[in-house]
Amino acid sequence: MAEAELVIETRGLTKVFNRFAAVEDLDLRVPRGALYGFLGPNGAGKSTTIRMLLGLMGPTSGTIHLFNRELAKHRLEILRRVGSLVEAPSYYEHLTAFENLEITRRILQLPKGEIDKALEIVKLAKWKNQRVREFSLGMKQRLGIAQALLGKRELLILDEPTNGLDPAGVREIRELIVSLPERMNATVLISSHILSEIELIADHVGIIHQGKLLFQGTLAELKARGREEIIIKANPLRQAAEFLKGKGYAVAIKGDKLCLPGKNTDLEAVNRELVLKGFGVSHLSERPGNLEDIFLQLTGEVA
């Protein structure tokens, strides 16, 4: 992740409310084009971080860089490229969907057709002249996303967009969000406290708990942390096992397979060493750990 261009980069980001550190020393790094899942239990500091990223709150200390520019110094320029949905979407319920978006469109000085395009993406075009107070929660969330999409934003920050939705609504929003990076050529940061949601949506994950970032990396890296076992079919089996033991790996033979502990074992390195030594490797797989267990271990909420 170090080489990739970062769209969001915070350094030592801290927010203290009356001696309570809601966010502490946060180094968030979101690469361009990522679907970044910002995961944490309720009250972990996700919304506070997002509010700081949008300039709604100032940090107590630390810096925020978006698109390699410091937010504190280039707020207006940066926010032109950022679309957001912060917690429950905000609407003027006495106005129609179109009128709500028209307010944003006018402020941003966008062409009139932008509203129809955004409503088309979130599948609300049919209801554009209906007052928002008549909308279901799912429709309101979709309208919130449409608002965030107005003006071809390069970065979308969505704070708990599936909150309060029924399973069908969650699925609808999830499918919409997953399609956004390709459709809009945008980077998406989505926060949630629901692990399964993030697992289905994100390719990068940041886990925050009690204001501190506990993990940051790709979803594959997170899963690798909790990987239970690596299974290898190598020929000849016993010699391969001896070879790996000699290299310091804890190997066990189970039937016609070698089993290595999943945690802290570099799968690629094991494969490389076996192949370079001339062993025939016909099968290589991993038994993934339960993401929920990994999450609970990280957040220290495991018994």
Partner 1 sequence: MGEYFRLVMAEFLKQKRSFLWPVVLATPLLGAFLSFCNLFLRYDYLMGLEANQGLTPWQVLLFQHHFLWAFLLPLVATITASQVHHLEYRSRGWKQVLALPVSRAKVYLAKWSAVFLLNILLIVGNSICLLLIGKALGFPETLDVNLLASYTAYQILAITSLIGLQCWLNSSLSNANVALAIGFVGVASSLFFAQSERLAKFIPYAHSLYTLPEPTINNAIALYYGLCCGLLFLGLGTMYFQWKEIC
71-79, 174-182, 219-227, 284-292 -> range binding partner 1 (CB under 8 A): 71-79
Provide the minimum distance between the beta carbon of 145 and partner 1 in the complex, in angstroms, as a whole number.
13
Provide the minimum distance between the beta carbon of 50 and partner 1 in the complex, in angstroms, as a whole number.
10
Residue 154 binds to partner 1 (criterion: CB under 8 A): no
Provide the minimum distance between the beta carbon of 299 and partner 1 in the complex, in angstroms, as a whole number.
24
Of these, 95, 219, 237, 296, which contacts partner 1 (CB under 8 A)?
Answer: 95
Residue 283 binds to partner 1 (criterion: CB under 8 A): no
29-37, 76-84, 193-201, 280-288 -> range binding partner 1 (CB under 8 A): 76-84
Cα angle 292, 11, 47 (rounded to 5 degrees) comes to 50
30-38, 73-81, 217-225, 262-270 -> range binding partner 1 (CB under 8 A): 73-81
Nearest Cα to 10, choosing from 44, 59, 47, 43? 59
Provide the minimum distance between the beta carbon of 135 and partner 1 in the complex, in angstroms, as a whole number.
13
Site string for partner 1, 34-53 (x = CB under 8 A): -----------------x--
Which is nearer to partner 1, 58 or 236 (by Cβ)?
A: 58
Q: Applying CB under 8 A, what is the total number of residues that bind partner 1?
A: 33
Provide the minimum distance between the beta carbon of 72 and partner 1 in the complex, in angstroms, as a whole number.
13
The span from the CA of 47 to the CA of 20, in Å, is 15
DSSP string, the chain: --SSPEEEEEEEEEEEETTEEEEEEE--EEETT-EEEEE--TTSSHHHHHHHHTTSS--SEEEEEETTEETTTSHHHHHTTEEEE-SS----TTSBHHHHHHHHHHHHT--THHHHHHHHHTT-GGGTTSBGGGS-HHHHHHHHHHHHHTT--SEEEEESTTTT--HHHHHHHHHHHHHHHHHH--EEEEEES-HHHHHHH-SEEEEEETTEEEEEEEHHHHHHHT--EEEEEEESHHHHHHHHHHTT---EEETTEEEEESTT--HHHHHHHHHHTT-EEEEEEEEPPPHHHHHHHHHT---
Binders of partner 1 among 128-147, rule CB under 8 A? 147
Backbone CA torsion sign across 131, 85, 209, 52? negative
Residue 72 binds to partner 1 (criterion: CB under 8 A): no
Residue 76 binds to partner 1 (criterion: CB under 8 A): yes
Of these, 12, 58, 164, 280, which contacts partner 1 (CB under 8 A)?
Answer: 58
Site string for partner 1, 244-273 (x = CB under 8 A): ------------------------------
Provide the minimum distance between the beta carbon of 84 and partner 1 in the complex, in angstroms, as a whole number.
5
Provide the minimum distance between the beta carbon of 237 and partner 1 in the complex, in angstroms, as a whole number.
60
Q: Which residues contact partner 1 (rule: CB under 8 A)?
A: 51, 54-58, 75-80, 82, 84, 86-95, 99, 102-104, 106-109, 147
